[in-house]
């Protein structure tokens, strides 16, 4: 047994600047949606290359799940509609379709990238299909050109689940500002590439979608909370135009997000460095390492997912147990949705329908990758993997 400290699978990277910003927001007398949230939205849009003319709108919400729900709602997804998504994802990606009475059509993934397989999308399209919902798995952008072409051919909208993909690029353009997408949804959950504790952001270049999102994120009030307290019309007057939700971000969270966003390029650099070292130093083991981004494209490196290769003489579960014994946390992303009782039973899904996700699931684990991880901690992870995988 090692006496060394436990290395978690992920740990948030919160510094004194975040703590000071949160304290300031709390002292300001304004803690719910207000000036910090507005400034965070503007900074987020600018970060993705949006101009001051509002060509790219960023709408802050209290989770990515809320953002996905709002995005589908804004596109008019409703009972009887279908949303196509990969089976290898978190349930939040598709549970939001059910909130609206719509259904999820789960499809298999590409064996190399573990992203949704465009050929499977095409095969899953029915008269009920309304939206394609790709997930940039681990932080590697999906083949958005192929997905966009399919959407265009069939008159479908695209909503990106970019919970892993900040900051990622696709053919030189940042995820969050890609052509052909109706909306892109980011997560600031505690273990994501930047965090506000809980939080999310939706970006869109569609003014109608942006307007609907702003109305529906706060009770269906016809103008948003910030305007209500800053515009010239009396503050008490508002109009309800729809039965909206309570999905707004607090200024306390936004204050933290503004600092995290400023630190994001440097945090991303650290993730790239850690991932690069794993790729080099694990290359000789019987492992399938994550596919790097194509040339000229940037991987967000939210996750580092390894798979035991055919040559490996140990099981995935044995590797997880050995790492735990060495004081190292791991995870599995994900138990595919077709194996989850709710989705499996609702659509009578069988593992044989998803051979690639099945093959990956049996052999995969995610190893520690977080910006606050030290070189020494990474050395320990590599050594423990080396010892366990033989």
Ligand X SMILES: *Cc1c(COP(=O)(O)O)cnc(C)c1O
**Residue ranges that bind ligand X, judged by CB under 6 A:** 63-65, 89-90, 92-93, 135, 161, 163-164, 187, 189, 200
CB 252 within 8 A of CB 26: yes
* Residue of 342, 340, 317 lying closest to 330 (CA atoms): 317
- Taking the complex as a whole, the smallest distance from the CB of residue 148 to ligand X amounts, in Å, to 20
Q: Rounded to whole angstroms, how far apart are CA atoms 55 and 11? A: 35
Of the pair 187, 356, the CB lying nearest ligand X is at 187
Residue 298 CB contacts under 8 Å (≥ 6 apart), including other chains: 167, 168, 169
Structure-token match 């803690």, residue found = 31
Nearer to ligand X, 108 or 377 (CB): 108
CB of 58 to ligand X, least distance (A): 15
| Catalytic site residue from 130, 192, 232, 246 | 192
- Classify residue 145 as exposed, middle or buried by CB count within 10 Å of its CB (0-12, 13-18, 19+): middle
Q: Would you say 187 or 388 has its CB closer to ligand X?
A: 187
Distance CA(107)–CA(11), nearest Å, equals: 31
* Least distance in angstroms from the C-beta of 184 to ligand X: 12
Structure token digits, residue 374:
């030290």
Residue 192: active-site member:
yes
Q: Is 6 left (phi over 0), alpha (psi -120 to 50) or beta?
A: beta
How far apart are CB 261 and ligand X at their closest, in Å?
A: 16
Q: Which is nearer to ligand X, 256 or 282 (CB)?
A: 256
Residue 64: CB minimum distance to ligand X, A: 3
Q: CA-CA distances (angstroms) from residue 227 to 230, 238, 358, 384? A: 5, 10, 49, 55
CB nearer ligand X, residue 60 or residue 326: 60
Backbone phi and psi for residue 187, each to the nearest 5 degrees, phi listed first:
-115, 140
Pairwise CA distance, residues 324 & 303, whole Å: 18
Strand order in the sheet with 364-366: 287-288, 305-308, 364-366
Residue 67 beta carbon to ligand X: minimum distance, rounded to whole angstroms = 8
**How many residues in total does the chain contain?**
390
CB-wise, 135 or 221, nearer to ligand X? 135
Whole-angstrom distance, CA of residue 363 vs CA of residue 320: 11
Active site residues: 192
């Amino acid at each position: 047994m090692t006496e060394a400290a436990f290395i978690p699978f992920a740990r948030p990277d919160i510094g004194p600047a975040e703590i000071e910003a949160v304290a300031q927001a709390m002292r300001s007398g304004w803690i719910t949606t207000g000036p910090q949230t507005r400034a965070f939205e503007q900074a987020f849009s600018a970060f993705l290359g949006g101009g001051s003319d509002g060509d790219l709108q960023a709408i802050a919400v209290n989770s990515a799940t809320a953002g996905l729900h709002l995005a589908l709602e804004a596109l008019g997804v409703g009972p009887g509609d279908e949303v196509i998504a990969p089976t290898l994802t978190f349930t939040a990606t598709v549970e939001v379709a059910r909130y609206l009475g719509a259904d999820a059509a789960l499809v298999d993934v590409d064996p190399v990238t573990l992203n949704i397989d465009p050929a499977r999308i095409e095969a899953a399209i029915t008269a009920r299909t309304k939206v394609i919902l790709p997930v940039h798995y681990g932080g590697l952008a999906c083949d958005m050109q192929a997905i966009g072409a399919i959407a265009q051919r069939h008159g479908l909208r695209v909503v990106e689940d970019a919970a892993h993909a900040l900051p990622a690029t696709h053919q030189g353009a940042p995820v969050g500002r890609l052509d052909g997408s109706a909306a892109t949804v980011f997560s600031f959950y505690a273990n994501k590439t930047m965090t506000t504790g809980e939080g999310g952001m939706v970006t869109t270049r569609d003014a109608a979608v942006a307007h609907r999102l702003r109305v529906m994120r706060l009770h269906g009030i016809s103008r948003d909370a910030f305007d209500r307290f800053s515009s010239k019309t009396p503050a008490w007057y508002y109009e309800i135009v729809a039965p909206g939700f309570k999905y707004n971000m607090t200024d306390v969270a936004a204050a933290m997000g503004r600092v995290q966003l400023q630190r994001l390029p440097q945090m991303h650099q650290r993730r790239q460095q850690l991932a690069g070292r794993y790729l080099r130093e694990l290359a000789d083991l019987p492992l399938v390492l994550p596919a790097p981004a194509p040339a000229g494209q940037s991987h967000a490196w939210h996750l580092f997912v390894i798979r035991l290769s055919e040559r490996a003489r140990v099981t995935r579960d044995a590797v997880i147990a050995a790492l735990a014994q060495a004081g190292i946390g791991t995870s599995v992303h994900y138990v595919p949705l077709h194996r989850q009782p709710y989705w499996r039973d609702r659509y009578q899904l069988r593992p044989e329908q998803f051979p690639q996700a099945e093959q990956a699931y049996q052999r995969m684990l995610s190893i520690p990758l977080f910006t606050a991880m030290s070189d020494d901690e990474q050395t320990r992870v590599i050594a423990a993997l080396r010892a366990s995988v033989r």
